[in-house]
Amino acid sequence: MKSSLEKPKGLSKDKILLIVTGCIVGIAAVLLTIFGNPGNMGFCIACFIRDISGAVKLHNAGVVQYVRPEIIGLVLGAFVISLVKGEFKPRGGSSPMLRFMIAFCVMVGALVFLGCPLRMVLRLAAGDLNALVALVGFACGIAIGCWFLNNGFSLGKAYPQSALEGAALPAINVGLLILAVFGTSLLFYSEKGPGSMHAPIVLALACGLVVGIMAQRSRMCFAGGIRDIILLKDWTLTLGFVAVFVSALVFNLIAGKFKLGFTGQPVAHAQHFWNFIGMVVVGLGSVMLGGCPLRQLILAGEGNSDSGVAVLGFAVGAAFAHNFGLASSAASADSLGGPGINGKVAVFICLAFLLVVAGVKTFAKKEN
């Protein structure tokens, strides 16, 4: 069968799809904060997986425990649309344990900054200049990852797996949804703090589903945008990134939620070096995983069990981050916030680990 891909005239279909997806993500994110999500946290893959980890008691941080329907929607949206479009392809076996550990490090980096790449863009669109420092760090991390890629970095091939293997992570999300609707007494939900702040379950799930479908179709990836500029001088994926920023910025301005500055920002701190280095880890780790945390959720929905393992790595990383005091605290009237000594040490260990793995998987003699 001949591919339907044709030489694009003007703005190609994939570019339009990315811009539309970005606009939907930006608008949905601000909408979710208006309806109850924490400030500048319409979507945050890292924070939301962390909240789910808390809800099932993998960690005991009482202020960040809630089953976020957005995550469930993202995975199931990607799962359903990939089935419909014939793109549900169970694959796995590309260094799953290394992916687990890389994802663990990405989560630690994200929780030192207090956000995944998507929340970084949303924070920027609300005037939080700390996210600009983080963006520089994220781009540096991606540039380091690109250097390894250009020199032959690979986590190895994935191979076809059974449909059951590919459907495992979506099935876990169905289970979480059933618990969130019918079994909340079994879960641990925050009574105060960010975990207690959430949009109605139906709205959160619907936003997750729509974004999951759109992100699967458009291949939206926040690490991929900067990576493709560096590697290929290709700006296509960056359009999604920019569209999220512009749409969220406009909506924030209309809704009166825009506040420019480093201080007084919701669920954030102004420890510049740690915001920078946390996102270096996220950028490098995301390139090694082949996509940002959002993209890992979408790929897991498409049946990629390596990405499913990465999602579990995020969840366990989040649990460790809170059990061992690695995550930053947000700035408040009494505190500047930022990471404690454990978090500062951990972020450097994570960076060193990523560099060692990247080095070995780039320069060690290939087995195949």
Partner 1 sequence: MLELDLTGLSCPEPVVKTKRALKENPQGVVSIVDNRAALENVSRFGRAMGYKVNAVEKDGAWRIEITK
Contact 146, 231 (CB under 8 A): yes
Q: Letter for the amino acid at 259?
A: K
Contact 257, 30 (CB under 8 A): yes
Whole-angstrom Cα distance, residue 291 to residue 287? 6
Given 9, 192, 233, 365, the residue binding partner 1 (CB under 8 A): 233
> Quick one: which of 87, 273, 359, 360 contacts partner 1 (CB under 8 A)?
87
Using CB under 8 A as the binding rule, whether residue 291 contacts partner 1 is answered as yes
CB of residue 144 to partner 1, shortest distance in Å: 15
CA-CA distances (angstroms) from residue 258 to 27, 113, 250, 255? 14, 20, 9, 8
Is the Cβ of residue 111 or residue 167 nearer to partner 1 in the bound state? Answer: 167
Piece of 36-44, 156-164, 181-189, 207-215 that binds partner 1 (CB under 8 A):
156-164
Contact 43, 118 (CB under 8 A): yes
83 binds partner 1 (CB under 8 A): no
Q: Which is nearer to partner 1, 117 or 278 (CB)?
A: 117
Q: Name which position in 158, 168, 203, 268 contacts partner 1 (CB under 8 A).
A: 158
Q: Which helix (H) or strand (E) holds 92?
A: strand 91-92
Does 1 bind partner 1 (CB under 8 A)? Our answer is yes
Please list, in sequence order, all residues whose beta carbon lies within 8 angstroms of the beta carbon of residue 73, skipping any fewer than 6 positions away. Answer: 204, 205, 206, 207, 208, 209, 210, 211, 212
Angle, CA of 276, 278 and 279, to the nearest 5°? 70
| Shorter beta-carbon distance to partner 1: residue 28 or 298 | 298
User: If DSSP codes are grouped into helix, strand and coil, which group holds residue 329?
Assistant: strand
> Which of 60, 150, 263, 342 lies at the binding interface for partner 1 (CB under 8 A)?
150
The amino acid present at 291, given as its one-letter code, is G
Q: In this chain, which of 59, 198, 219, 361 binds partner 1, going by CB under 8 A?
A: 219
Q: Hey, which residues between 295 and 324 contact partner 1 (CB under 8 A)?
A: 304, 306
Q: Summarize as ranges the residues that interact with partner 1 (CB under 8 A).
A: 1-3, 5, 7-8, 14, 87, 89, 91, 94, 149-150, 154-155, 157-159, 219, 224, 227-228, 231-234, 236, 290-291, 304, 306
